[in-house]
Chain A
Amino acid sequence: MSRRLTRKLLPHPMLSTLLVVVWCLLINDLTLGTVVFGAILGILIPISTAAYWPDRPRITHPWRLISYAMVVIWDILVANVQVAMIVLFKPNAAMSPNWVVIPLDLRTPEAITLLAGTITLTPGTVSTDLSADGRALLVHALDAPDPEAVRDEIKTRYERRLKEIFE
């Protein structure tokens, strides 16, 4: 009974925490008043939006999110330079833009969203569409003579880590 009540009052504890932190950063100071008002927002906003986000994501290893973020930031730096080189020095005709199909092992919508976002943020690949049953991702690569290599890299580098975090 009490568990269902907490579930009703705090549908997304992680979102609530995030809202308090974002509010403190927006106000740019850390006083009791700010934290209390942030907490009020952190309770009211998840309750009023709970209808649009009915399931609670299961994050089994939250700390691995940090190492995942580090890997992604590093990849963004490296890939930025690679793509800048392609844009500057490779003629249009010599590029081989390609569609890549990535079969997904991830099942939760939150994990798939995170994977699609990561793919778009790392330059050179843009996630374009999801199959209607949610089991494959369509990705466009700027210069990929070998689509299988891109698929394997995304699967081993990002999807494996996300699977560890969410399942």
Chain B
Amino acid sequence: MTDILFLAEILVAVLLVIGAVFTLVGSYGLVKLDQPMKRLHAPTKASTLGVGSLLLASIVHAFAFGEGSLHELLVMAFLFVTAPISGNFIAKVHLHLQRGGKELPPPPSEERWATYSEH
């Protein structure tokens, strides 16, 4: 029994370190990258694998040392659903600041990109 607890402890520690490393890389990317659109890539990374790994550690810890709880799955699900939306909003703000989007490739059809569309 103690062996299993020991293994669980190691697993929790490894998951915590992985999560921390990816969160750190995400924050470092925010500082290092030099264009607004490139910066957007760093936080999407931190929120998927970084937070996902930390939550996995929390699940393992809860089931091994206390009462198991699946709240973390909900946190992960809500995060995965909302992260792309906020990312898309920040990207749209960037497009609005470009005023016209000359640097963008045009869509294949005659229409424009929705952000610059009049209606």
Shortest beta-carbon distance from B7 to chain A in Å = 22
Closest to A128 in B: B91
- When chains A and B are docked, how far (Å) is the Cα of A76 from the Cα of B25? 15
Contact B114 A132 (CB under 8 A): yes
Contact A28 B70 (CB under 8 A): yes
- When chains A and B are docked, how far (Å) is the Cα of A130 from the Cα of B113? 6
Q: Of A37-45, A49-57, A80-88, which stretch is located at the interface?
A: A80-88
Residues of A within 8 A of B113 (CB): 129-132, 138
Beyond A135-B107, A136-B107, is A121–B88 a contact (Cβ under 8 Å)? no
Q: B89-108: which residues lie under 8 A (CB-CB) from chain A?
A: 91-92, 94-95, 103-108
Q: A40-92: which residues lie under 8 A (CB-CB) from chain B?
A: 76-77, 80, 83-84, 87-88, 92
State which of B69, B71, B84 has its C-beta within 8 Å of the C-beta of A121.
B84
State which of A22, A92, A132, A133 has its C-beta within 8 Å of the C-beta of B74.
A22
- When chains A and B are docked, how far (Å) is the Cα of A121 from the Cα of B50? 12
- When chains A and B are docked, how far (Å) is the Cα of A133 from the Cα of B48? 31
Shortest beta-carbon distance from B24 to chain A in Å = 10
Indicate whether A95 reaches chain B with its CB closer than 8 angstroms.
Answer: yes
Shortest beta-carbon distance from A77 to chain B in Å = 7
Indicate whether A35 reaches chain B with its CB closer than 8 angstroms.
Answer: no
Indicate whether A20 reaches chain B with its CB closer than 8 angstroms.
Answer: no
Indicate whether A25 reaches chain B with its CB closer than 8 angstroms.
Answer: yes
Tally of A interface residues using CB under 8 Å = 37
Indicate whether A13 reaches chain B with its CB closer than 8 angstroms.
Answer: no
A residues with a Cβ closer than 8 A to B are 22, 25-26, 28, 76-77, 80, 83-84, 87-88, 92, 95, 97, 99, 101, 103, 116-117, 119-121, 123-124, 126-133, 135-136, 138, 140, 142
Contact B38 A128 (CB under 8 A): no
- When chains A and B are docked, how far (Å) is the Cα of A96 from the Cα of B95? 19
- When chains A and B are docked, how far (Å) is the Cα of A97 from the Cα of B48? 21
What are 25 A-B pairs at a CB distance below 8 A? Answer: A22-B74, A25-B70, A26-B74, A28-B70, A87-B29, A87-B33, A88-B25, A97-B35, A97-B37, A101-B105, A101-B106, A121-B48, A121-B83, A123-B49, A127-B88, A128-B88, A129-B95, A129-B113, A131-B108, A131-B113, A131-B114, A136-B109, A138-B104, A138-B105, A142-B38
Closest to B35 in A: A97
Contact A101 B107 (CB under 8 A): yes
